Amino acid sequence: MPNLFDRVFGRSSPPANKSSGSTAKERLQFVLIHDRMNIPPEKLEAMKREILEVISKYVSIDDEHVDIALQQRDRNSLLIAEIPFLKTNEGIEKEDPKRESDDDL
Amino acid sequence: MGGKVITITSGKGGVGKTTTTANIGVALARLNQKVVMIDADIGLRNLDIVMGLENRIVYDLVDVVEGRCKARQAMIKHKTFPELYLIPAAQTRDKTAVSPADMIQLTDGLRTEFDFIIIDSPAGIERGFRNAVAAADDVLIVTNPEVSAVRDADRVIGLLEAENKGPGQLILNRVKQDMIRRGEMLSPEDVTDLLAIKLIGIVPEDETVIPSSNSGIPVTLNDKSLAGLAFRNIARRLLGEEVPFIQLSESKGLFKRIARLFAGGER
């Protein structure tokens, strides 16, 4: 609730104490990325899911820390993906080349 | 190649394209440039009335393109500046009466005689927009610090890039510093962050603009107007001069504004 002081001096206090100017910027950042790529958010989500599915076929993914997002560099769009693997990935743990060579000797 | 063709466009309507065109044209003429302005908004003619030239129209852009008159005959000479002309839009036709090739042909003929050919684009991204940008060497995109105008500007910039006319330069019009200070309006930095193009002008919201349009005397001829100063600065930047942006940030009152106006070193 805006108090009397805020109201008198024209300071609005929207939820989360955020100014509408920064809300405008955030909303535009999101919408411009999708406008420029000509890809709606649902399609992007589907693409992300598919990418993860493909990777999951080969290695176990640490789902909780996956971060795939569109970014803008100048006026170009990039898909930046951070896809951490789980430490328990069998392929990595079991085939330790060092140990193998030890055995060979 | 001679004169430069500059198109002023925006995507969204009502952001101040025509006012900007009129003021940049006048400001360039004031800097002793030979200027012809073309109103490419066929069917919604407006540059003539903003310039105060609405009673002198004999021929229009479509008459020129369709060969009913020479370009010279359609040019209306400005009352104060003998080297400033306007080719008005046709009022009773539509955008399809002119093609991008027509615009290129017309402006090529004008380049030898003028330093600047300034085209006022209609709103939108269809035929009228394509006509307006077809011949452009430089495109100036006018926007307001407001979500819909910024989004449309981004769309236009994308289309310009696709046609190898981009990215263009940005004019941020109707900036209200007190609202920016309260965090209730996108700042010039916010807008350039979002659009990632070069800024060529920041024009403050100014109550002298509408009275100027009312009387058909572009505001840049009013030496006391801050918006008028901003338009003169854009004209100087178009001529390659490095002109700092007007500092609106610490604007606290009329006295300071006037002090800055005199410090600005305007001619």
**Residue B263's pLDDT band (cuts 50, 70, 90):** low
> Would you say residue A13 has pLDDT above 50?
no
Among B27, B48, B142, which Cα is nearest to B90's?
A: B48
> Which range among A7-11, A71-75, B116-120 has the greatest average pLDDT?
B116-120
Q: Which residues in chain A have Cβ-Cβ distances shorter than 8 Å to B186? A: 21, 24-25, 28
Interface contact flag, B190 A25, Cβ < 8 Å: yes
For residue A67, is it within any domain?
Answer: yes
pLDDT in tens, A82-98: 999 998 755 554 444 45
Q: Find which of A12, A25, A26 to mutate to test the B interface (most B CBs within 10 Å of its CB).
A: A25
**Residue A76's pLDDT band (cuts 50, 70, 90):** confident
ipTM (interface pTM):
0.84
Topology of domain B4-263 in CATH is Rossmann fold (3.40.50)
Interface contact flag, A36 B180, Cβ < 8 Å: no
Among B221, B245, B223, which Cα is nearest to B233's?
A: B245
Q: Find which of B178, B182, B197 to mutate to test the A interface (most A CBs within 10 Å of its CB).
A: B182
pLDDT in tens, B174-223: 999 999 999 999 999 999 999 999 999 999 999 999 999 999 999 999 99
Residue B180 has its nearest CB partner, among A11, A21, A27, at A21
Least CA distance to A75: which residue of chain B? B196
For residue A52, is it within any domain?
Answer: yes
Rounded-to-integer distance, Cα A82 and Cα A66, Å: 6
Least CA distance to A32: which residue of chain B? B151
Give yes or no for B5 touching A (CB within 8 A).
no
Inter-chain contacts counted by CB atoms under 8 A, chains A and B: 51
pLDDT in tens, B45-55: 999 999 999 99
More confident call, B166 vs B167: B167
Averaged over B4-27, what is the pLDDT?
97
Interface contact flag, B184 A20, Cβ < 8 Å: yes
pLDDT in tens, A46-67: 999 999 999 999 999 999 999 9
> Would you say residue B62 has pLDDT above 90?
yes
Rounded-to-integer distance, Cα A71 and Cα A29, Å: 9
For residue A95, is it within any domain?
Answer: no
Give me the residue spans of the domains in chain B.
4-263
pLDDT, mean over chain B: 93
Interface contact flag, B184 A22, Cβ < 8 Å: no
Paired tokens of B50: 């903003």
Count of domains for chain A: 1
* Structural domain span for residue A44: 39-86
Q: Could you give the angle at which helices B188-195 and A20-37 cross, rounded to 10 degrees?
A: 20
Rounded-to-integer distance, Cα B177 and Cα B167, Å: 26
Quote the pLDDT of residue B262: 56
Least CA distance to B181: which residue of chain A? A21
Positions of E strands within A1-105:
67-73, 76-82
